């Protein structure tokens, strides 16, 4: 090695060392398991071992597309998650901007904590909070709220038409706090001089938001959205399984890929078929990320992830 | 200073992945460290058996004492020690799958009827036939040939049922105070129509009680059956399996009539409005004073057991006679894992669980004088100052081999096991007893049908959906998902099984 490169090496070595743990983590947890993808194409027999088991092509994937339900679950998964992404992003952004405008530190912290609290509650508990609202025997809505308006009782857990709204409300309530904190963090990091200059020029609050805040945190918004799109085929299992209390009647509006796979394989316990579902979800997610990143690149090169 | 920083970051960088590996290993294999620790003092001959089983509550505090006591017996009798590995029921399926897949040390484990055929198809279990005839004669003798062969797949045995109630009868029960209050005589109740007036009485007079309670993810009909479900209800034998024709249960008139009845009951308010989403156990609902009674699977000793759980005396009536089907026999079995290094020793220990009174009672009740005292030859009670709440050990009786060798707890019928033996022997036996369906040739359809069942079945059977409209839709969806293909495959396997049985037997 020449003297120069040795010096450079010395300069960058700590950075590489800092990268090492993260890299090792990624390789061990995210790359090595990819070997397991072959399970999705095999009829796994433990006495033969994973490598020795027979190849069966796409047979493990068939059950995902077997019935008319395939359409319903794919539609539900994409529509719900797509809608969640839009609503949560807009809501969280609005919330973050509002929080940023609060001048009293105490209240800002207070509201922030209140808003992020639902994010920390387990979905099972959330499902019982919802049940406390909607139960037909004792629920708050049926017993106290609907009578106020002179409306009759509604049997929520057997009426599928309400669930798209209920699930969206629960999802926003639970997810918005976390996302808004992410946005708030990037809003805070914007140099205050921009705002000072804008105020001097007589820009209104709304103009400042539109021309300074939003453009400056667009990279963060794009990144968060792209990441969410990558997971659009994965649904929050707790939300779709626990919150409707696993009520079969609702499945037309609550069945998503994850719950379908769970119900299909609960008795069968076939790891080939569950891997097939995982592979299907990852590949569609991967393609969607590439495509949306490509779209972002076309639109504005700086905001693309890669 | 700078050099120090570099060194430090190097050290941290090296340690992080190591720490991560260490902790993840520790999490995934609780038994790994235990077994390696024990193999260290392996003197040479004595083999350590790892026996995993599911526990219904938390691990008892005297677990280790039981293990030590057990090892004293096994050391002298079969020159082996036993490492007991209780796994909570909720984590059981995951844990055991992981252990089997990752080749962890594991010798014996209980098998559940629902996953048995699959475990065999995947090659996770050791074939037991030779072992049974060499090291396990006691097991075959205790079970009797009918029941010992009930778990055969392709003529080979991979699991042995535990000895307990091997048949099931079905009936209705309710709390005694209500029965007395309204002068209800259960002895005349034989059909669902006979149950109806009782439900009406309760509904009219006890507005705060649900007349017909149902369990989580189940309907009243779940505990009322005149068919052999052949394990999963996807293709059943009618009339308790007295002939071998597989039919679609959901298309039968009997099923339609049952659904109609449940719908009437639901609309009349005999079944809870929230039946589909109920999350409490039946006994908890009755205990809380919110329920009156229910249909249930019964056996000798049912009244005592249910009274204890519901916290109030109950009365019951048997409406359908006891029947033995593959599912009632094979729902709890023991098998030897493919991972076992010494299947012979494992079978020897299993043999002890079916023949040795000391081993069975140690696992069921604990240590005499500490966890129980004898009141008479065969009846036991808690020692002074000990009760159900603070006893240091309580096993699961129906799990550890031969329950007929265990003592009877005070309060239960002293002749419980004799009655149970009669119950098992006198039960109607399904002609398909011993047949286990292997779903792997039709697993695509199986998965799709499972989904349809979970969508419609409970809601229909609780009466929450109108069968007039929804039953045809349900049937159409089942057909769409491929239930006919499953039924055809089942018939084929059943015929092959019956033919093989016919030639080897009489």
Q: What is the predicted pLDDT for the residue at B24?
A: 36
* Distance in angstroms (rounded) separating the CA atoms of residues B121 and B446: 15
Pairs across A and B, CB distance < 8 A: 139
Percentages (nearest 5) of helix, strand, coil residues in chain B:
50, 15, 30
Q: What is the dihedral of CA A19, A24, A29, A34, to 10 degrees?
A: 100
Query: And the tokens for B293?
Result: 């009674």
Same domain membership, residue B294 and residue B193: yes
Same domain membership, residue B290 and residue B224: yes
Instruction: Give, as one character, the DSSP assignment of residue A41.
Output: G
DSSP letters for A43-102: E--TTT-TTTSEE-TTGGGHHHHSSTHHHHHHHHHHHHHHHHHHHHHHHHHHHHHHHHH-
CA distance B444 to chain A (A): 5
Give A 215-254 residues with CB within 8 A of chain B.
Answer: 245-249, 251
Same domain membership, residue B101 and residue B62: yes
Per the structure, the complete domain to which residue B190 belongs is given by: 168-229+252-323
Using the structure block, give the residue that is written with the tokens 């539900």. A76
ipTM of the complex: 0.78
Q: What is the dihedral of CA A286, A292, A296, A298, to 10 degrees?
A: 100
Per-residue pLDDT of chain B (506 residues; tens, 9 = 90+): 444 444 444 444 444 443 333 333 333 333 333 333 333 344 456 899 999 998 877 788 899 999 999 999 999 999 999 999 999 887 888 788 888 877 889 999 999 887 888 888 888 899 999 999 999 889 999 888 878 888 888 888 999 999 999 999 999 999 999 999 999 999 889 999 999 999 999 999 999 899 999 988 889 998 898 999 988 899 999 999 998 999 999 999 999 999 999 999 999 999 998 888 887 888 888 988 899 999 999 999 899 888 888 888 999 999 999 999 988 898 899 999 998 999 999 999 999 999 999 999 999 999 999 999 999 888 999 998 888 778 888 888 889 999 999 999 888 888 899 999 999 988 999 999 888 888 888 988 998 898 899 889 999 999 999 999 999 999 999 999 999 999 999 999 999 989 887 765 44
Identify the residue among A16, A46, A275 best suited for mutation to test binding to B, counting B beta carbons within 10 A and taking the highest: A46
Number of domains in chain B: 2
The model's confidence at residue A173, banded by pLDDT at 50, 70 and 90, is very high
Closest Cα partner for B209 from B132, B287, B267? B287
CB A233 within 8 A of CB A281: yes
In sequence order, the 6+-apart residues with CB closer than 8 A to the CB of A158 are A247, A249, A250, B276, B459, B464, B465
Same domain membership, residue B173 and residue B258: yes
Taking the alpha carbons at both ends of chain B, their separation in whole angstroms is 90
Specify if B491 maps to a domain: no
Instruction: Give, as one character, the DSSP assignment of residue A121.
Output: S
In this prediction the pTM is 0.79
* Distance in angstroms (rounded) separating the CA atoms of residues B413 and B304: 8
Name the domain boundary from B297, B323, B349.
B323
Contact A63/B448, CB-based, under 8 Å?
A: yes
Same domain membership, residue B319 and residue B196: yes
H or E element at residue A12: helix A3-26
In sequence order, the 6+-apart residues with CB closer than 8 A to the CB of B384 are none
Residue of A nearest to B290 (CA): A137
Specify if B499 maps to a domain: no
Query: And the tokens for A154?
Result: 């509604």
Please report, for the domain that includes residue B339, its CATH number. Answer: 3.40.190.10
Q: Is the dihedral of CA B490, B496, B497, B502 positive or negative?
A: positive
Q: What is the predicted pLDDT for the residue at B44?
A: 53
Residue ranges and CATH numbers for the domains of chain A are 39-303 (1.10.3720.10)
Measured CA distances, A283 to A9, A43, A240, A276 (Å): 38, 21, 22, 11
Write a three-state SS string for B459-478: HHHCCCCCHHHHHHHHHHHH
Using the structure block, give the residue that is written with the tokens 């993808």. A37
Contact residues, chain A, for B121 at CB < 8 Å: 45
Same domain membership, residue B284 and residue B173: yes
CA distance A96 to chain B (A): 35
């Amino acid at each position: 090695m020449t003297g120069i490169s040795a010096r450079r090496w010395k300069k960058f070595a700590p950075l590489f060392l800092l990268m090492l743990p993260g890299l090792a983590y990624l390789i061990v947890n995210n790359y090595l398991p990819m070997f397991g993808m072959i399970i999705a194409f095999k009829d796994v027999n433990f006495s033969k071992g994973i490598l020795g088991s027979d190849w069966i092509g796409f047979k493990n994937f068939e059950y995902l597309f077997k019935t008319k339900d395939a359409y319903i679950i794919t539609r539900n998964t994409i529509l719900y998650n797509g809608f969640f992404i839009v609503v949560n992003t807009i809501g969280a952004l609005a919330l973050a901007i509002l929080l940023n405008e609060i001048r009293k530190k105490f209240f800002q912290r207070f509201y922030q904590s209140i808003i992020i609290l639902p994010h920390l509650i387990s979905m099972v508990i959330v499902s019982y909070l919802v049940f406390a609202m909607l139960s037909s025997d004792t629920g708050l809505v049926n017993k106290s709220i609907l009578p106020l308006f002179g409306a009759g009782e509604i049997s929520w857990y057997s009426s599928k038409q309400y669930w798209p709204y209920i699930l969206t409300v629960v999802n926003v309530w639970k997810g918005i706090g976390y996302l808004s904190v992410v946005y708030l963090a990037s809003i805070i990091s914007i140099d205050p001089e921009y705002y000072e200059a804008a105020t001097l020029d007589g820009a209104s609050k709304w103009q400042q938001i539109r021309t300074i805040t939003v453009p400056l945190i667009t990279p963060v918004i794009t990144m968060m959205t792209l990441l969410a799109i990558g997971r659009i085929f994965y649904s929050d299992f707790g939300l779709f399984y626990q919150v409707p209390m696993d009520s079969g009647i609702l499945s037309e509006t609550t069945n998503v890929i994850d719950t379908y796979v769970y119900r299909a394989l609960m008795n069968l316990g076939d790891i080939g078929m569950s891997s097939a579902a995982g592979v299907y979800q990852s590949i569609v997610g991967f393609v969607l990320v590439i495509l949306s990143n490509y779209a972002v690149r076309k639109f504005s090169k700086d905001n693309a992830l890669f | 200073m700078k050099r120090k920083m570099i060194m430090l970051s190097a050290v941290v960088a090296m340690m992080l992945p190591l720490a991560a590996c260490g902790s993840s290993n520790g999490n995934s294999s609780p038994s790994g460290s235990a077994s390696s620790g024990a193999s260290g003092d392996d003197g040479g001959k004595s083999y350590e058996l790892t026996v995993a089983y599911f526990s219904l509550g938390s691990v008892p505090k005297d677990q280790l004492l039981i293990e030590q006591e057990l090892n004293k017996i096994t050391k002298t009798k079969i020159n082996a020690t036993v490492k007991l590995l209780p796994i909570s029921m909720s984590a059981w399926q995951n844990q055991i799958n992981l252990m089997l897949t990752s080749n962890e040390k594991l010798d014996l484990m209980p098998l559940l009827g629902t996953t048995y055929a699959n475990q065999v198809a995947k090659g996770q279990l050791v074939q037991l036939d030779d072992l049974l005839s060499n090291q396990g004669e006691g097991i075959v003798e205790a079970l009797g040939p009918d029941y010992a062969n009930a778990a055969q797949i392709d003529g080979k045995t991979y699991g042995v049922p535990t000895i307990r109630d091997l048949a099931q009868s079905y009936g209705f029960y309710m709390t005694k105070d209500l029965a007395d209050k309204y002068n209800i005589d259960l002895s005349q109740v034989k059909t669902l129509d006979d149950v109806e007036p009782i439900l009406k009485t309760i509904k009219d007079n006890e507005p705060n009680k649900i007349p017909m309670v149902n369990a989580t993810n189940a309907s009243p009909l779940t505990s009322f059956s005149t068919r052999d479900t052949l394990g999963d209800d996807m293709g059943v034998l009618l009339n308790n399996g007295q002939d071998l024709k597989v039919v679609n249960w959901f298309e039968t008139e009997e099923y339609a009539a049952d659904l109609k009845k449940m719908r009437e009951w639901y609309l009349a308010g005999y079944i809870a409005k929230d039946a589909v989403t109920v999350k409490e156990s039946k006994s908890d609902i009755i205990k809380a004073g919110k329920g009156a009674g229910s249909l249930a699977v019964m056996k000798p000793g049912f009244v005592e057991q249910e009274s204890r759980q519901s916290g109030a005396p109950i009365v019951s009536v048997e409406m359908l006679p006891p029947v033995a089907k593959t599912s009632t026999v094979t729902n709890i079995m023991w098998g030897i894992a493919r991972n076992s290094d010494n299947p012979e020793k494992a079978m020897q220990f299993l043999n002890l669980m079916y023949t040795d009174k000391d081993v069975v009672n140690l696992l069921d009740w604990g240590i005499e004088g500490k966890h129980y005292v004898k009141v008479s030859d065969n009846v036991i009670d808690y020692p002074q100052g000990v009760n159900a709440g603070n006893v240091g050990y309580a096993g699961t009786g129906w799990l550890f081999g031969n329950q007929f060798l265990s003592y009877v707890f005070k309060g239960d019928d002293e002749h419980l096991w004799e009655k149970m033996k009669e119950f098992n022997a006198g039960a109607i036996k399904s002609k398909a007893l011993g047949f286990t369906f292997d779903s792997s040739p039709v697993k695509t359809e199986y998965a799709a049908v499972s989904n349809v069942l979970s969508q419609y079945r409970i809601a229909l059977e609780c009466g929450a959906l109108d069968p007039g409209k929804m039953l045809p839709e349900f049937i159409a969806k089942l057909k769409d998902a491929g239930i006919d293909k499953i039924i055809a495959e089942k018939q084929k396997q059943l015929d092959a099984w019956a033919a093989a049985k016919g030639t080897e037997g009489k």
